[in-house]
Structure 1
Amino acid sequence: MHPISFRSTLLLGAGIAALVSNPAAAQETATAPPEPQSVDAESDSTGDIIVTARRRQESAQDIPLAVSVLGAQQLDETGAFNVNRLQQLAPTLQFYSSNPRNTAVNIRGLGVPFGLTSDGFEQGVGIYVDDVYYSRVASATFDFLDVAQIEVLRGPQGTLYGKNTTAGAINIQTNQPTFDFEGRAELSIGNYNFQQARLAVSGPLSDTVAARVAFSGTSRNGTIRNVVTGENIQSLDNIGLRTQILWEPTDRLKIKLVGDYNKQDAVCCGSVFVGTGATQRPLNRQFAALAAAQNYAPPSTNPFDRLTDLDSNLNAGNVIAGAALKITWDVGPGTLTSVSAWRYWDWKPENDRDFTGLSIVARSQNPSQQDQYTQELRYTYSGDRIDFVLGAFGFNQRIDTQGLESQGVNASRWNITPSNPLSADPSVLDGLTARNTQVLKSTSAALFGQLSWKVTDAFTIQPGARLNYDKKSGFYQRRVFTKAGTELLGTETDAVSRARLAIYQPQLSAPSDTDWNLTYDLTASYELAPDVLAYGTYAKSFKTIGINQNGLPTDAAGVPIAAAGTIRPEKVDHFELGLKSQFWDRRVTLNLAAYRTEIRDYQATVNNGQFGVLRGYLANAGKVRSQGIEADFAIRPSARFTAYANAAYTDARYVRFTDAPCPPELSGGTTASAGQTPSAPGTPGGISPANCDISGQRLPGVSKWAVSFGAEGNVPATFLGQSGEVYLGYDGTYRSNFSSNPSPSAYTFVDGYALSNFRLGFRTDGGLNLFGWVRNAFDENYFEQLFVGPGNTGLIAGLPGDPRTWGVTAALTF
C-alpha cells in the first residue's frame, strides 16, 4: 500500500460499507437531492437561493450585494473540494499557493500581498466557517468538510462580519445536526492513485439533543517526479473530522458545540526549472555560469516533463483544529447570537529555497504554532420596514515561529564572487546557519452594525459603521552560527566572517503598534420592476496596521532599517453599482456589477534579493486601484437542461509605487549613484536603480479576463433497476495572463489558459449518484505560479498546474 494513502484507505472502507449496506432501505428514507441547476444552493419553496451573507436568511436576488453562491451538489460534481478548485467556478476569486502557509486568497485582485507570507499583516478576504473566523489562510488548502453551500461575497464586509475584511469574504455553511436520521457517503477513485472518501451521519440523541459527525479523507500521488529522491512530490494526503452536538432546550434557544480536526501530511512542496532571464549581475554570477562552474544542469529544460531535482527534504505537515460554542436565542423581536471559538494551527515545513539540485540552501524551515481566540456577539432584527444587525467582536492571537536556514556545500561557489579565492572553499559557507525566533501577539476589538430601512416598497437604504481597535507586538531575533557552532555577532572583520555575514546578519527587532479606525458604508437599492433590483454602494474601509516579522531590510552599511518595522494601515474607498434580475418566470438570472476600489498605503510584499530576507518583507505602496465589471448568467429552460456563464474583467494596477523593488532584469548590478543612468534591462555587470517606479503597472496574480461557464443536460433512465436520470455536464474556465512577481517582470508573466471538465453520470430521486469525471480534459499545460530564484541569478522556477485527471465517484444520500 502506498504510504501516503493509508489514512484515506481507512475512510474508503467506511465509504464502501455505507454504500453497500442495505441501499434499498436507505433509499426508502432518503430525501431527494436538490434538482440540478447552475447553482444548486439551498433554496426555499419558490426556488430562490437562500443565503446568510447579511447574517439573516434571504434570497440571494433580494440583497444589494455581489455574491456567488455554490451549493453542495455543484461542489461535489465539479470536484471543487477546496478553495483552489473553487476559483474555477468563481472567476472573481484568485488562489495561489506554493505551500499551505504561503497561500494567497484574493477577490478582484485584492486581499493579501502576492508572494511569500508574513504573519504581520491581516487577510483582506475573510474565511468563515459557520460564523467562525479562520485567520490562517492555510485553512483554505484543506478539503471542504460536509459543506451545505459556500457564498463568495465581493467587496468590503466590515459592517457585517466580526473580523474586518476589505476585499470580500468566503462564507462557508456546513450541514447542521438534524432530529431525523440522515447521512451521506461518497467514494471516489482516479488516476494518480486518487482516493477520496466522505461520510456524514446525523440524528437525534434525545428529544432535545442531536448530533452530526463528518469524516473526509483525500490522497493522491504527486504530479512532479523528483529524480533525486525518486518520490512524486505535490501529493495530497488530507484527513478531516468534524463533530457537532446541538441542544435545543426550548423552541427559542439553541446551543451548539463544534469540534474539528484537519491534518495534511503531503510530500510537498516543490517546483520545476522553467528557464533563465538575464539580470544585471556580472555574467560570471548569473545562473548559466554558476551552474557550469559546478557541472550542474537541471533534469529537464521542459517544465512540463514535470521533473525536478530538489535535494533538500520536503514537508508540508499541517494541522488545523479548533472548537466553537454557538448560542442562538430568540429574544423578543430579534435574535441574539454568541459565537465563541478557539483555533489552533501547527505548521511543520521543510523547503528547498534555492530551487535546484545543488546544495546551496541546504535547509529552510519555519515551523509555527498559533492559538487564536474569538468572541462575537450579534443581535439581528427583521421587521416590516427595518432590519438591522448590531455586533461586537474580540480577537486574540499568538504565533510562535522557530526558523532555521542553513547553507550547503555548493553555497560558497554560488554566492561568493568567483574572483574571491574563498569561493573555491566549500567550508566557508557550508553549514552556516541562521536560527530565527519570532513571536507575534495580535489583539483586536470591534463594534459594528448595519441598518436596512425600507423607505418605500421599492426603495431601501442601508447604512453601516464599524469602530475597530488593533494592537500588534512582535519579536524577531536572528542568530548566526558557523558549522562548528561558533556564533557570529556581526562585528567580525576577517575575510571569512565577512563572507558569511554577507549571507546572514544577526538581527534583533521588536516592532509594535496600535491603531483605531472608524469606517462606514452606505448602500441604496431600488426595485425597478418585479425581480429587477438596482443598487449602489460606497464603502470607506481599511486594513489594519502590519508589522514585519521575517527580518528587516538593511541599509548600504548592513544596518537594519528600524522604520520598516511597522506598516501603515490601508485606507480603502470602494464604489459599486449593480443590477440583479430574473425573467422568463425566473428561468433566467442575470446579475451585473461594476466597481472601483482605491487603496492608499497598500500593504505590498517586496524582496530586495538579500539572502537574509529571502522571505520578503512588507512595505506601503503609495496607491493601488482595482476596477472592473462582472456578469453572472444562468438559464434553466426546463428540468432537463441548465447552463451558466460567469465573467469578470479586472483592471488592477499600482497607481503610485515609486520606490518598489526592481524586477530581476533590472537587479543585481552596481547600484546607481546620484546622476548615473541605469543600464538597459538584462545588461550583465550593469548599473541597477536602487528601486523602481512601477506606477501604472498591473498588480500581481490578477488576470484581466476570467470566465467560467458550463451546462448540464439529463434524460430519464433506468439503471440497476432504479429509476432516475442520466446526465452529461461540462464546466470550463478561462483566465488571461497575469504577473507572478510583485514587480512585473518580462520573465514571470504566466500565460493565459483554458481548462475543460466533463462528467457523465446517473442519479435517482432516492439519493444515489454515480458518475465518471475528467478534469483538464485536454491536458492543458499551464502554470499556477512562477518564482524568481534568490540572489538575482536569473533563475525562474515554476509550479505547473494539474495535468489531466480522471476517475469515478459513487455517492448515496440516505
Structure 2
Amino acid sequence: MNRIARAALLASAAWSAMSVSALAQETQPTGNEDVVGEVIVTARRREEALQDVPIAVTSLSSERLEQTGATDITALQQQTPNATVQVARGSNSTLISFIRGVGQQDPLWGFEPGVGLYVDDVYIARPQGAVLDIFDINRIEVLRGPQGTLYGRNTIGGAIKYVTDRIGQTPEFEASATLGSYRQADVIVSGGAPVSETLSFGAAFARYTRDGFGENLTTGEEQYNRDVTGWRLSAEWTPTDALFFRLAYDRVEDNSNPRHGHREVNSTVGGYTPPASVYDTEAGLTGEQRVVTEGLSLTGEWYVNDWLTLRSITANRRGDTATVIDFDQTPLPYLDVPAIYSDNQFSQEFQALFEGDRWSGVAGIYYLDSTAAGVFDTIAGNLGVVIAAAGSVDTTSWSVFGDFSYELTDRLEVSVGGRWTQDDKTGDVYRAFFLGATRSPLTGGTVRPVFATRTDYTASETFERFTPRVSLTYDFTDALTGYASYSQGFKSGGWDMRGDAFLTPQTVNGYDPEIVDTFEVGLKGNIGRRFLFSSAVFYSAYEDQQITSQVVATLPATGIASIVDNVGSSTIYGAEFEATAFLTDNLTAFLSYGYLHAEFDEFITYVTGSPVDISNIRVFQNSPEHTVFLGATWTQPDVFGGELSVTPSISYRSDYHLFEAADPILDQDGYALVDLAASWDAPGGNWSLGFNGRNLTDETYRVGGYNFAGATFNNSISAFYGPPRTFSFTLTARY
C-alpha cells in the first residue's frame, strides 16, 4: 500500500508540473467550455470562487457526499488531505479533529479543540454531540491551516464549516428510508415551503438505529450500536429585497449504549484475555449513556447598497452528556469512570461585507459567553478509593477582526487581515478521594465524608492576542491562480480539570496559549476545461503545544492524575493536492493526496518535578504521513428508463500514533478502506434507489485507545475500532 502513496505523490508532482508548464499560455478551448463549473465557497466569510481564495479549502457538495456514501462528517477524513475527523474514544458522538497535525483529542470540559466547527457560521464550542450527521445540507467546507483572522476561536489547525440549505420560494419535500447490515434502519424526512411571498418554513427529521457491531460479554449489552434522533426547524423571512432573516433550531439526542474499548493485552488480575472480536468487551461498569445538544440561532442580512452588506448572527447552544467508560475492560472496578458534562454558550457576531470595483473585504465583532462544567469519578478498585473530580470554566471572549483584498493590477491581488482576541477565563477545579471503590457522592454514589482533598482552587486569567494574515494572489491565466500566504493561529490557555495539586503542585498555575505560524504557497485552477485542481505546500512553526501527560503513583501519593504542559515547539511541513477530472461526459474521477511531516523540536515535561526534554522519544498523534483518496463516478442514462450512477472509491492512511508516546500495541499500521456507492434515479427524478457498501475488504483499524499499563490498574490497555464491512439500501422519494 505504500506504493499507492508513492504513486499518488508522483502523480501530484507530475500534475503540478503540467500546471506550471501551462502558465506560459492561455488554456485553449476544447469544445467543452462548460464542463468545469465554478465552485463557490464562503471560506473568507463572503461568497467567492474557490479558485480565488488564498486558502487550502476542500469543498464537498451534498451531491458529492451522497455519491460517495458519506453519512456523517467523519467521512471528511477519507476525502480531505492531512485531516483526522473521528468519533472520540469511549464515545458515540463526541468529535475529535486534527488538521495538519494540530488538534485536540481530550474532550474534557475546559480543554479547547484545535479545529473549529461551525454550523451556518455558528461556532460549536464543545465536541460532545458534534459528530454531525449529513442531512439537509448544501455543502461542507474544510479550511486547512490557521484560520485565526476570520474565525478566531480555536481554529489554530483549521475549521470545518457545515452549511445547511436555505428554504427558498419553491416547495420541496424529500423522504428516505435505509435498511442495512446489523439491522440498520434509518429514516430522514426534510422539506420546506413558502406560506407567503416573503415567509418560508422548513423542517428536517432524522432517526438512526442499528444493532451493535459487538457485545458486552459481561452485561449482555450491544457494543457500537446506534440510537440517535435529530431534527431541525427553520423559518426564513424576506420582507424586502434588501432584508433577509433566518431563525433556526436544531436538536440531537444520542441514546446509544456505552461504548467500551477492547482489551488489547492480558489482565494482571482475574485472568482476563482479549475478546476474540475487536468490537467485544468484558467491561462491568454500567450506567446512563445519553448526549443531548440543541441550539437556536437568528441570522439577519441587510443589503444596504451595492458595496455594503451588514450581517448579524445570534446563537445560543447547550449540551448535556452522561457517560460511563470502563478503562480496564473487565468486570472488576480497577479503573471505572462515570462522567457528567454540561455546557452553555451564547454568541453574537456582527459583520460588514464590502465590495468595490477593485476591493472587497469583511470586518466584524464577535462575542462569546460560555460555561463548560463537569464531574467524573475514577473508581480504583484495587486501591479501595474513588477519585472524584469536578469543576467548571467560564469564558468571556471578545474579538475584533477584518480581512481586506485589493487588486493592485488586473492579475495581482493583495489581502491583509487580522484579529484581536481577548479571552477572560475563570476556572474552578476540585479533586478529592473518598474511601470505597464505588461512585462518589458527586456522581450520585453513597454519601460519605471526603477522605482527602487533593485540589481545590479558583483561578482567573486573561489571554490576549493579535493574529495577522497576509497573502498575495496572482492570476497566471484566467484558468490558473497562484497564491502565497502567512497566517497565525492562537488557542488560549487554561487549567487542567483533572489536576492533582498534591501529586503535581504546578497544576494550579495552569497552561499558556498555543501559537502556530504558517507559510503556504498554492496553485489552483483548471486545465483543458476538464481538469479542476488545487495544490498547496506549507510550513508551520508550532509553539507551546498543550500536551496532557499522565502520572500514576501509589501510596502515600495514591492515584492517577494528569498534568497539561506547554511542552515546547515543533516543525510541521507538507503538501496537498486535490483534483477532479471530467474524463468523459459520463465519467468523473476524484483524487486527493496529503503529505505531512511533523516532529517535536523540543518537548519539555515537568512530570518528574524538573524540566526534561524528551523530544527524541515523542511523536505526533493522529497525523499519518500519507493520506490518499481516489474515486470515480460513472453515470449512465436510459437504464430502465432512469439514470444509473456508480461510485467506487479507496482511501488510504499510512501508519500513525494514537498518543505522543509511541506504543507498539496501540499504534495503527497503514490501511485502506474500499467503498462502493450506487444509485438509480427513476424517470422524472421523483424517487431513487441507492446502495452503499463501506469497508468492503473488512479492514480492522484503531481510531482511539487508552494506555494504563502495569499492575496498579490491571494492565488496562484498550482500543476502539472503526466500523467493519457494512451494506445498506436506501429508497428516496422527492417532490
Q: Is the TM-score greater than 0.5?
A: yes
Question: How much has 1:405 moved relative to structure 2?
Answer: 3.5
Match of 1:500 in 2: none
Q: 1:91 aligns with which of 49, 64, 81?
A: 81
Decide which moves more: 389-398 or 783-792. 783-792
Aligned counterparts of 2:167 and 2:727: Cα–Cα separation in 1:
33
1:248-305 alpha-carbon deviations (Å, 9 max, x no partner): 11110111111111110001211112226xxxxxxxxxx4xx32xx4x22353x454x
Give, in whole Å, the separation in 1 of the partners of 2:487 and 2:231.
38
Amino acid at match of 1:733: S
**Residue number in structure 2 paired with 1:589:** 532
Aligned: 1:475 with 2:437: no
How big is the shift at 1:488? 4.0
Asked if residue 464 in structure 1 is aligned to residue 417 in structure 2, the reply is yes
Alpha-carbon distance in 2 for matches of 1:762, 1:102: 34
Structure having the larger proportion of residues in strand? 2
For 1:639, the equivalent position in structure 2 comes to 585
Give the TM-score of the pair, scaled to structure 1: 0.80
Counterpart residue identity of residue 445, structure 1:
W
Partner of 1:40: none
* CA displacement at 1:109 relative to structure 2: 1.5
Look up the match of 2:515.
Answer: 571
Write out per-residue CA displacement over residues 356-402 of structure 1, whole angstroms, 9 at most, x where no aligned residue.
Answer: 232323x4222121110000000001122000100100001012313
- Measured after TM superposition, the shift of residue 633 of structure 1 is 1.5
Q: Offset of 1:806 from its aligned partner? A: 0.3
Secondary structure of the equivalent of 2:289? strand
Output the CA distance in 2 between the equivalents of 1:610 and 1:581. Answer: 57
- Find the partner of 2:289 among 316, 328, 335: 316
Per-residue CA distance 1:772-807 (angstroms, 9 max, x = gap): 121111111222223213647654211122111001
1:257 paired with 2:247, answer yes
User: Secondary structure of the residue that 1:487 maps to in structure 2?
Assistant: coil
Q: Which amino acid aligns with 1:481?
A: F
Q: Deviations over 1:135-176 (max 9, x none)?
A: 112233232341110000111112222535111111111011
Structure-2-length-normalised TM-score:
0.89
- Classify the secondary structure of the residue corresponding to 1:84: helix
Task: Name the CA distance, whole Å, in 1 between partners of 2:47 and 2:82.
Answer: 24
| 1:776 maps onto 2:701 in alignment | no
| CA RMSD after TM alignment | 2.3
Alignment check: 8 A CA contact 1:656 1:696 kept? no
Tell me if 1:237 matches 2:158.
Answer: no
The match for 1:109 is 101
Aligned to 1:521: 469
| 1:401 maps to 2:374 | yes
Deviations 1:700-736 (A, max 9, x none): 11111111110121222243xxx32222210111001
Looking at structure 1, the residues matched to 666 and 615 of structure 2 have their Cα atoms a distance apart, in angstroms, of: 15
Paired with 1:613 and 1:448, the residues of 2 have a C-alpha distance of: 45
- Cα 1:485–1:314 shift into 2, 3 Å: closer
The equivalent position to 1:726 in structure 2, one of 644, 653, 656, is 644
What residue number does 2:729 align with?
Answer: 808
In the TM superposition, what whole-angstrom CA distance separates every residue of 1:323-367 from its partner, at most 9, and x where no partner exists? 011110012321100000000011111221222232323x42221
Question: Per-residue deviation at 1:314?
Answer: 5.4
| 8 A Cα contact 2:109 2:392, kept in partner | no
Range that drifts further, 306-315 or 200-209: 306-315
The question of whether the paired residues in 1 share the 8 Å contact of 2:94 and 2:130 is answered with no
Distance in 1, matches of 2:667 and 2:456, equals 36
Matched, 1:561 2:505: yes
State the Cα distance separating 1:186 from its structure 2 match: 1.6
Q: Which amino acid aligns with 1:307?
A: D
Q: 1:59 aligns with which of 49, 66, 71?
A: 49
Q: Which amino acid aligns with 1:800?
A: Y
CA–CA distance in 2 between the matches of 1:185 and 1:626?
Answer: 45
TM-fit CA distance, 1:111: 2.2
Of 160-169 and 383-392, deviating more is 160-169
Residue number among 83, 107, 131 corresponding to 1:141 in the alignment: 131
Q: Is the 8 A contact 1:178 1:211 kept in 2?
A: no
- SS at 1:578's partner residue? strand
Q: 1:795 to 1:694 in 2, by over 3 A?
A: farther
Distance, in Å, in 2 between the alignment partners of 1:784 and 1:124 is: 18
Contact 1:187/1:811 (CA < 8 Å) preserved in 2? yes
Q: CA deviation at 1:442?
A: 0.8
Does structure 1 residue 540 correspond to structure 2 residue 515? Answer: no
Query: In the aligned structure 1, how far is the partner of 2:367 from the partner of 2:342?
Result: 20
Q: Write out per-residue CA displacement over residues 570-616 of structure 1, whole angstroms, 9 at most, x where no aligned residue.
A: 1221110101020112x101211101111111111221235977573
Question: Counterparts of 2:232 and 2:482 in 1: how far apart (Å)?
Answer: 40
2:30 corresponds to which residue? none
1:195-218 CA-to-partner distances (Å, cap 9, x unmatched) read: 111111111122211111011111
User: Structure 1's 645 and 123: CA in aligned 2 closer, same or farther, altered over 3 A?
Assistant: same
Letter in 2 for 1:487: P
Shift of 1:183: 1.9
Indicate the residue corresponding to 2:332 in structure 1: 358
The 2-side partners of 1:792 and 1:172 are apart by 41
- Tell me the distance in 2 between the aligned counterparts of 1:253 and 1:186: 34
Of 658, 661, 677 in structure 2, the residue corresponding to residue 759 of structure 1 is 677
Residues 547-588 of structure 1 deviation map (CA, whole Å, 9 limit, x = unaligned):
222223x5xxx4541455411111221110101020112x10
Instruction: Report if the CA contact (8 A) 2:302-2:311 is conserved.
Output: yes
Question: Match of 1:320, as an amino acid?
Answer: T
| 1:691 to partner: Cα distance | 6.2
Instruction: Tell me which amino acid in the other structure corresponds to 1:607.
Output: Q
Q: CA contact under 8 A between 2:95 and 2:129: conserved in structure 1?
A: no
Give me the whole-angstrom Cα distance separating, in 2, the residues matched to 1:461 and 1:349. 50
| Secondary structure in 2 matching 1:638 | coil
- Corresponding residue SS for 1:161: coil
DSSP-derived class of the 1:137 partner: coil
SS at match of 2:143: strand
**Greater shift in the superposed pair: 444-453 or 707-716:** 707-716
Whether 1:247 and 2:237 are equivalent positions in the alignment is yes
Partner amino acid, structure 2, of 1:247: W
Distance 1:45 1:813 in 2: 27
8 A Cα contact 1:77 1:759, kept in partner: yes
Which deviates the most, 728-737 or 605-614?
A: 605-614
How far apart are the structure 2 equivalents of 1:350 and 1:697? 30
Post-superposition Cα deviations, 1:397-437, rounded to whole Å, max 9, x if no partner, equal 01231323434xxx33xx5xxxxxxxxxxxxx1xx333333
Partner of 1:346: 320
Between the aligned partners of 1:230 and 1:146, the Cα distance in structure 2 is: 36
1:315 shift after superposition? 4.5
2:201 is aligned to 211
Q: How many residues align?
A: 684
**In 2, are the aligned partners of 1:118 and 1:617 still within 8 Å (CA)?**
no
Corresponding position: 1:711 with 2:711: no
The correspondence of residues 7-26 of structure 1 with structure 2, limited to 5 A, is none
- Bigger Rg, which one: 1
Report the Cα distance in structure 1 between the residues aligned to 2:243 and 2:330, rounded to whole angstroms: 59
- 8 Å contact 1:178–1:212 — kept in the other structure? no
Give the Cα separation in 2 of the matches to 1:551 and 1:221: 38
Cα 1:509–1:56 change in 2 (3 A) is same
Question: Does the CA-based 8 Å contact 1:303-1:800 persist in structure 2?
Answer: no
C-alpha deviation, 1:64, in angstroms: 1.5
Contact map agreement 1:595 1:629 (CA 8 A) in 2? yes
